[in-house]
Structure 1
Amino acid sequence: MNTIYIASPNSLHFEQAKQAILAGKNVIVEKPAFSTPNEMDEIIELANQKQVFFFEAARNIHEQAFKTVADFLPLKDHIVGADFSFMKYSSRYDQVLDGDEPNIFSPHFSGGALVDLGVYPIYAALAWFGMPNESLYFAKKIRTGVDGFGTGILRYDNFDVTIRTGKMTDSFQASEIYLTNGTLVLNAVNSIDEAVFHDRAHVQREKLNVHQLENPMVEEANDFAKVIMNPTDRELGTFYEEWVELARNVNQVIYDMRKSAGIVFDADKK
């Protein structure tokens, strides 16, 4: 076995990934890969030193539907703003209401809504629009000290992206990207199977050719496998470097958002 998939509670990812890399293994780490930018930087540097691969398993950016939307989007100066939403009630929130502290809602295990469902819209924003100038988060904290629900704002030069995420309620709201000539409506950003552009100038609707595979994990797995099986391929190497840099940026944005909301993990104190 030369590749290890890590899907333990968030706070355990760093040490487990570090030990695997030191043993010469490639690592695929479930999102969010790490709790802090320091952890992320150390793993990236260690993977480079040991000449193995580190992947963050954020599957939405590897789906063809996601890439179709990216190809459709105009230059950033034609973007007015965006509103991304991903909220889903977690049955483990019932445990919080009963007085318990499950790991996905625990600061000891680097839990909360932002570092779970919120990872998908943040990945979408950074993959499509780049690194924001400022990242803010207004959280509804729960008894354990992490966020159960929240609204984030990513500020760019000429537009903002609003992100709503939560695990203590459900959302049925579409995600939208506002352009100078219309609005692109997505059924989701975590798993896109419908995308419709409402062209204001021509008063018409254009349906993008997007769909989901029966197994939503296939495209991500294929991307990772190509890199692992072809370590000297320059084009694949470029893709890999882009994924790593995107993972680093997403980690930094999440960290900045947490700090703006006063959400502190045990990992922050190390």
Structure 2
Amino acid sequence: MLKLGIIGTGAISHEFIKAAQLSGGYQLAAVYSRTLTAAERFVKAYEKVALYTDMVEFLSADLDVAYIASPNSLHFSHAKVAILARKHVIVEKPAVSLPAEWAELVKLAAEHQVYVFEAARNYHEEAFATIREFLRDKTVWGASFTYAKYSSKMQALLEGQEPNVFSAKFSGGALMDLGVYTLYAAIGLFGRPEKALYTAQQLPNTVDLNGAGSLIYPDFQVRIQAGKNLNSQLPAEIYTDQGTLTLDGIEFISSAIFQRLDGQEEVLPIEQAAHPMLEESQAFAGVLENGEDRTYADWQQATAAVHDCLFAMRREAGIRFEVDDD
């Protein structure tokens, strides 16, 4: 069983722990927080968990893998020190702010003989394997993927505060949060696009509240939409020469229905997991325990493609973070 350490005491870390424990592959062993009070509050629901407020001490503990869910702009530095301490690393999406940071993490992980993963949960859903196989004998003509959810931090923003999720200092915004899922859906199904475009409704700090864009492939386009100041109930659609495949979303998919051009319908055999993060936690444990290097290499290429697109789309829209060097 993998001994798990947590960096970042937000709600998403609790959800990953639930999924990790449900998978049967992990044991929560340690939590790092900047303050002991936050660490103690976080572990109330758990037993026998070591608490640390010193990162060096935390990374010196008996841990196999560190799950990192600190603010976006801190992911790179936290992942880097964990890798240098020879810990496997699972970094919550977006793993980095810049493509060069991801390349450096992958290089360092290889040098220190550990693995580094971006925790983009929908990429590891079995539903996408089912969809990919279903599309194998069809010609894709296009797709439309949307993920927009009103943020719990919007009220604070409207009151004049700048929450991390809307901060240029912390690499926030709709594209870097919910937009990541749309990119992983497209790249997981169709591969790396030739070009990525994006326009957005932006705050004065240039961070996007919502936006729309296109991923350009040789023979079709994928329209994407992401938002944190609005809700969308739009399904996802994939258009083919034989009909349209409609999904109930692009993450934690529970329904996929194909309507042929003659009107006949076919329901794909989609079985939703017991927890939205269960399949990714199982996938990571599988590689960590079995050393599936070809699978791991495929994941790294997909992550690199996602971050290349994120960077290109930010530049297209004029979204600038403090980490940007020009």
The two structures have a TM-score, normalised by structure 2, of: 0.79
Match of 1:74 in 2: 136
SS in 1 for 2:177: coil
Shift of 1:191: 1.5
Structure 1 stretches lacking a partner, 5+ long: none
> Are 1:45 and 2:107 counterparts?
yes
- Of the three residues 110, 123, 131, the one matched with 2:192 is 131
Provide runs of 4+ in structure 1 moved above 6 Å. none
CA RMSD of aligned residues (A): 1.2
Shift of 1:74: 3.1
Measure, in 1, the Cα distance between the counterparts of 2:170 and 2:158: 18
Measure, in 2, the Cα distance between the counterparts of 1:264 and 1:55: 25
Shift of 1:116: 0.3
Note the 1:157-168 alignment, pairs <5 A.
157-168=218-229
Measure, in 2, the Cα distance between the counterparts of 1:103 and 1:238: 36
> Are 1:223 and 2:283 counterparts?
yes
Measure, in 1, the Cα distance between the counterparts of 2:217 and 2:198: 15
> Are 1:29 and 2:91 counterparts?
yes
Match of 1:142 in 2: 203
Q: Which has the larger radius of gyration?
A: 2
Q: Which fold has the larger relative contact order, with Cα–Cα distance below 8 Å and residues 6 or more apart in sequence?
A: 1
Match of 2:8 in 1: none
Q: Is the CA contact (8 Å cut-off) linking 2:206 and 2:318 kept in structure 1?
A: no
- Of the three residues 97, 109, 114, the one matched with 2:170 is 109
Measure, in 2, the Cα distance between the counterparts of 1:230 and 1:65: 23
SS in 1 for 2:265: strand
User: How far does the alpha carbon of each residue in 1:175-214 deviate from its partner, in whole angstroms, 9 at most, with x for none?
Assistant: 100001100000001121000000114x200000102122
65-74 vs 44-53, which moves further:
65-74
In the alignment of these two chains, the number of paired residues is 264
Match of 1:214 in 2: 274
SS in 1 for 2:188: helix
Match of 1:175 in 2: 236
Measure, in 1, the Cα distance between the counterparts of 2:226 and 2:80: 30
Measure, in 2, the Cα distance between the counterparts of 1:71 and 1:116: 28
Measure, in 1, the Cα distance between the counterparts of 2:323 and 2:80: 15
Q: Is the CA contact (8 Å cut-off) linking 1:117 and 1:166 kept in structure 2?
A: yes
Shift of 1:75: 5.7
> What amino acid maps onto 1:238 in structure 2?
R
Q: 1:160 to 1:82 in 2, by over 3 A?
A: same
Shift of 1:256: 0.4
